[in-house]
Amino acid sequence: MTALLYLLVVLHVIISLFLIGVVLLQQGKSADLAAAFGGQGSQTAFGPRGAANLLTKLTTYAAVFFMVTSIGLTILMARTGSDHSVLSGMSGKAKTTQTTPAPAKK
């Protein structure tokens, strides 16, 4: 089970780096020269919308795989059964003592 978890973590990191790279390589929606001077080139409400190119499709697939690996990691971590809380590790290290206040004098 731990080998699958490590494999999924490595795959998740690779997909996230790939997703970052693909998003950074894409041009903006209005990145052409006409947009610099205020022209849109089309009369549609949100600008011209062409067919999805390769980078757009790669972004979509990478996002889907990223979400699937995220859900898979969540399920695998929940099934390990051990307590992975940040606060659970503090119970043995930082012991606190409670004292009762002294009774008030009348």
The string of pLDDT tens digits covering residues 60-104 is 999 999 999 999 999 988 887 666 566 666 655 556 677 888 888
pLDDT greater at residue 19 or residue 39:
19
- Does the pLDDT value for residue 8 go beyond 90? yes
Q: What is the mean pLDDT of residues 46-50?
A: 55
Q: How many CA atoms lie within 13 A of 48 on its CB side?
A: 11
- Count CB atoms within 10 A of the CB of residue 74: 10
CA 67 to CA 16: how far, in whole Å? 10
User: Quick one: pLDDT at residue 58?
Assistant: 92
- Residue ranges of the domains in the chain? 1-27+54-80
Q: How far is CA 24 from CA 17, 56, 98, in A?
A: 11, 11, 54
pTM of the model: 0.59
- Does the pLDDT value for residue 54 go beyond 80? yes
What does R_g of the chain's alpha carbons equal in angstroms? 26
Q: How far is CA 14 from CA 17, 42, 77, 95, in A?
A: 5, 38, 19, 41
With the CA atoms of 61, 11, 81 and 75 taken in that order, what torsion angle do they form, in degrees rounded to the nearest 10? Answer: 0
- Does the pLDDT value for residue 45 go beyond 70? no
CA 67, 70, 74, 80 dihedral sign is: positive
